[in-house]
Amino acid sequence: MSYYHPDYFGVQEAVPQQMTDIKTTLTDYDYVGVGRDDGKNQGEYSAIFYDKNKLEVIKSGTFWLSETPEKPSKGWDAAYNRVCTYAFFKIKKTGKQFLAMNLHFDHVGDVARVNSAKLILEKIKELNPKNLPLTLAGDFNLTDGSEPIKIISKSLTDSYYNSQKPHYGPKGTWQNFDINTPSTERLDYVFVKGFDVLSNRTINDRRENLLYPSDHFPVLTEIGFK
């Protein structure tokens, strides 16, 4: 992360100690987000870290991917509580504003994933009446062509297919720590609206011990205001 140093990035499945470690190590960054179990600090986070030297948080929040999104809850046929974190940012240098959203869909519930996709689009309309440019990123636990991805793609642009430069790196983003088998399943997405996608890449760097830092590859997208 220190090498690529994105302006902001989303995490999934980050437990409280990992959140502390990231914030302590990456001193340029702060974060927005809460634990999914209690809406405070219990359970996994789907937080958004941002470079506090470049970005200012105007407003932020979390909603649950469920029938009761305003409180900690498990939706439909999901196995776990699932959340979406959002933040309205202002770029300090230019004053331009945008919305960033980061989520983690359930890995089991088919109904939950379809309804979560619909809920996301409803929330975008509710939260963003000014129609500011936005990004929606995260682990969707879904492959290309699945119904929830189709639902989202009708309203937002998939950066993988719409980059001005050809995609760099493997298409797949999930490798389950397997360093010998090529990754083919793309479960992680960056959707945009109101931005140009300048480049998109899957980062498959390995550490000196040949292990990946996660069972998912990070996706790095460079965007620009239209």
pLDDT for residue 69: 99
pLDDT for residue 105: 99
Tell me if 32 is assigned to some domain.
Answer: no
Q: Is the pLDDT of residue 23 over 90?
A: yes
Tell me if 7 is assigned to some domain.
Answer: no
Q: What is the mean pLDDT of the chain?
A: 95
Q: Is the pLDDT of residue 114 over 80?
A: yes
Looking at per-residue pLDDT, the higher value among 53 and 181 belongs to 53
**Average pLDDT of the segment spanning 68-89:** 98
pLDDT for residue 215: 80
Tell me how many domains the chain contains: 1
Q: Is the pLDDT of residue 195 over 70?
A: yes
- Residue 59's CATH number: 3.60.10.10
Q: Is the pLDDT of residue 210 over 70?
A: no
Q: Is the pLDDT of residue 68 over 90?
A: yes
Tell me if 128 is assigned to some domain.
Answer: yes
Tell me if 208 is assigned to some domain.
Answer: yes
Tell me if 109 is assigned to some domain.
Answer: yes
Tell me if 19 is assigned to some domain.
Answer: no
Tell me if 125 is assigned to some domain.
Answer: yes
**Which residues are CB-contacts of 178 (< 8 A; sequence separation ≥ 6)?**
none
Integer CA distances (angstroms), 225 to 65, 164, 166, 196, in order? 29, 14, 19, 6
Tell me if 91 is assigned to some domain.
Answer: yes
Long-range contacts of 160-168 (CB under 8 A, 24+ apart): 160/186, 160/189, 160/190, 160/200, 162/197, 163/197, 163/198, 163/199, 163/200, 163/221, 164/196, 164/197, 164/198, 164/199, 165/198, 165/199, 165/200, 167/200, 167/201, 167/202, 168/199, 168/200, 168/201, 168/202
139: containing domain: 51-225
**Average pLDDT of the segment spanning 104-112:** 98
% the chain with pLDDT above 70: 98
